[in-house]
Amino acid sequence: MDRSQKADSVASLNAVFNEVGVVVVTRNLGLTVAQSTTLRTKMREAGASYKVAKNRLAKLAVKDTDYAGIEDLFTGPTALAYSVDPVAAAKAAVDFAKTNDKLEIVGGALGSTVLNADGIKALAAMPSLDELRGKIVGLINAPATKVVQLVNAPASKLARVFGAYAAKEAA
Express each pLDDT in 30-40 by its tens digit: 889 999 999 99
DSSP state of 63: T
* pLDDT of 150 strictly over 80: no
Distance CA 41, CA 25 (A): 18
**Do 34 and 87 fall into the same domain?**
yes
Average confidence (pLDDT) over 53-72: 89
**Do 12 and 96 fall into the same domain?**
yes
**Do 144 and 114 fall into the same domain?**
no
**Do 117 and 151 fall into the same domain?**
no
| Residue 79 pLDDT level (bands cut at 50, 70, 90) | very high
User: What is the extent of the structural domain holding 10?
Assistant: 3-126
Residues pairing with 117 in the sheet = none
**Do 85 and 141 fall into the same domain?**
no
pLDDT, residue 26, reads 93
Report the domain count for the chain.
2
Biggest alpha carbon distance in the chain?
Answer: 99
| Residue 106 pLDDT level (bands cut at 50, 70, 90) | very high
DSSP 108-155: EEETTEEEEHHHHHHHHTSPPHHHHHHHHHHHHHHHHHHHHHHHHHHH
**Against a cut of 0.75, is the pTM above it?**
no
Which one has a higher pLDDT value, 37 or 148?
A: 37
Instruction: Find all residues with CB under 8 Å of 169, minimum gap 6, and list them.
Output: none
* CATH number of the domain enclosing 87: 3.30.70.1730
